[in-house]
Amino acid sequence: MNKTAAEAIALANEVAQLVKAQVSADIQVIMAPPSLFISEVNKAVSGISNLAVSAQNCHEKSSGAYTGEISANMLATSGISYVILGHSERRQYFAESNAQLAAKVDSALAAGLTPIFCCGESLDLREGGEFLAYVAQQLTESLFHLSAEDFAKIVIAYEPIWAIGTGLTASSDQAQEMHAYLRGHLATKYGQNAADDCSILYGGSCNAKNAQELFACTDVDGGLIGGASLVAADFITIATSF
């Protein structure tokens, strides 16, 4: 929840120009503005093949008496391609459950959107040693009902909640451990090839200084960037860290 309309459009235009000038065409860049600004931001990325737009959330129902909510169908008609689901802040502040997120995933897929599904553990779970099983359960309960065809459309983002906005960052070894574990868990349901093809992003205080080390990990396929995306130059540094 950042930026006024004018600020958001200015940032989107700056990022778009930097992507055209500096980012390799085989690196997919996605901007996720507040829904109010999606249409204008979508104009800024028009014609740039490796730059897309995502919403930050959607409701699980396609329509109805849900004042203030936005459906996946509404988002799809705005011309975007992605929607972030299950972000740690949505889980924390709005009590989104794994079952609700399963319904949101279904709604997004039915509307033709690619879900960027977030998962992650708190500091208590990390310190208690229960973090691997906990995050695997998030995937099981929200994604494992999908057919292999639909699962192939999912992007996963691992968020160590204890490293978001705290200044703490998972070490590259910690990130690789979790990403490899999640890929192995996905393989038990969908097979190794499908698991290998799934993009698993790291999100947890990833910034211009640590992105290269994190992205060098075998099972880290990219980043879900928070505060560092609010400065175009920093964001592009991250995008060119592969």
**Residues annotated as catalytic (active site), given as ranges:** 87, 159
189, exposed or middle or buried, with CB in 10 Å at 0-12, 13-18, 19+?
middle
Radius of gyration of the chain (CA): 17
Neighbouring-strand partners of residue 52 = 30
Which residues have C-beta within 8 Å of that of residue 188, sequence separation ≥ 6? none
Residue pair 115/95 in contact by the 8 Å Cβ criterion: no
Q: Element (H or E) spanning 7, and its range?
A: helix 5-22
Sign of CA dihedral 206, 208, 210, 213: positive
Pick from 65, 61, 152, 141: nearest CA to 108: 61
